[in-house]
Amino acid sequence: MLDQETVRNIFKGEFIGKEIYFLESTESTNDKALEIGKKREDSEGIVVVADSQTKGKGRLGRHWISPPGVNLYFSVILKPDIPPIEAPLITLAAAVAVSSVLRTWKGVPADIKWPNDIMIKGKKVGGILTEMRTSGNEIDLVVIGIGLNVNMPIGDLPEDIRSATTTLEIEKDAPSDRAGLLRGLLAGLDNAYKNLLNGNKRALINGWLSLNCTIGNRVIVRDSNRTITGIAENIGQNGELIVKLESGGTEVVNAGDVTILKN
């Protein structure tokens, strides 16, 4: 059961969890967090949790299915003192934190599809959408939004995405306590953020590599302008996907949808 009383004091880390807000329903926890972050100078570490979202956000206006009473939807406000160009590492750090917590707390073989989809055995269980506001070369605000399929009946999803989606309940064959899981995830994120601010980028990249299911595979990458096919070779220092093309040569990908091809 998630409610204001349970959620308010569920976790207080070094950075994350200074205040935790709970909403029965909101359009999008990211929008709510952006609103708070813009109003308050001291908003770093504030967390917004909702039991349901009416306009849960995915990449480029896509919809994140967010029914009440079953899943986790939350957003964390950060104000990191790093150059914007390094900020994409935050999204990789969040993915490492979420998949590590799912492995250790729930015992499921969670891994990461580039850049930060949380997968279990090739099916998506969680998504992370990060929004950053910059002015000039300064970060004003970063909001990390996380949606995790916990106890949702798979029938709540549109038919066309059911076969590519899973939930923790399906994988564990039992429902999970959402409050306990939220506590674990916030602790994992707090730790990952601390490590990132300490400048240990290599450890983060290595952590991502050890948990990913993309590198070494044949992939198709689609973005708004092109589709490329090749072998996902590695990631760059800010998390870019490096693809060895079948047509020869190498491409560095910053954004796009990755499909892993089965060999």
Partner 1 sequence: MELDEIKNLIELLQDSDITELQIEKEGSKLKIKREKFMTAFEPSTHVSKPAAEPGGKMAGSVEDQALVMINSPIVGIYFSAQSPESPPFVTVGTKVTKGQVLCIVEAMKLMNEIESDTDGTIAKVLVENGHPVEYGEPLFLIDPS
Q: Which residues bind to partner 1, rule: CB under 8 A?
A: 59-62, 83-85, 87-88, 90-92, 115-116, 128-137, 140, 142, 223-225, 238-240, 254-256
Please identify, using beta-carbon distances, which residue of 59 and 121 lies nearer to partner 1. 59
As measured in angstroms, the least distance from the Cβ of 87 to partner 1 is: 6
Question: Per residue in 3-18, is it b (16+ CB within 10 Å) or e — as a string?
Answer: eeebbeebbebebbbe
> Do the beta carbons of residue 173 and residue 107 sit within 8 Å?
no
Please identify, using beta-carbon distances, which residue of 121 and 226 lies nearer to partner 1. 226
CA angle 163, 24, 66 (to 5 degrees): 15
Please identify, using beta-carbon distances, which residue of 70 and 258 lies nearer to partner 1. 258
Task: Check residue 179 and report its DSSP letter.
Answer: H
Residue type, 131: E
Helices (H), 54-200: 88-106, 159-162, 168-172, 178-197
Please identify, using beta-carbon distances, which residue of 10 and 232 lies nearer to partner 1. 232
Name the 3-class secondary structure at 3. Answer: coil
Please identify, using beta-carbon distances, which residue of 2 and 36 lies nearer to partner 1. 36
Beta strands in 223-262 (DSSP E): 227-235, 241-245, 250-253, 257-260
Please identify, using beta-carbon distances, which residue of 2 and 232 lies nearer to partner 1. 232
Containing H/E element for 209? Answer: helix 201-211
> Do the beta carbons of residue 242 and residue 252 sit within 8 Å?
yes
Containing H/E element for 21? Answer: strand 19-26
Q: What is the C-alpha separation between 206 and 259, in angstroms, rounded?
A: 22
Cβ neighbours, 10 Å, residue 126: 26
Please identify, using beta-carbon distances, which residue of 67 and 84 lies nearer to partner 1. 84
Measured between its terminal Cα atoms, the distance across the chain in Å is 42
Please identify, using beta-carbon distances, which residue of 86 and 156 lies nearer to partner 1. 86
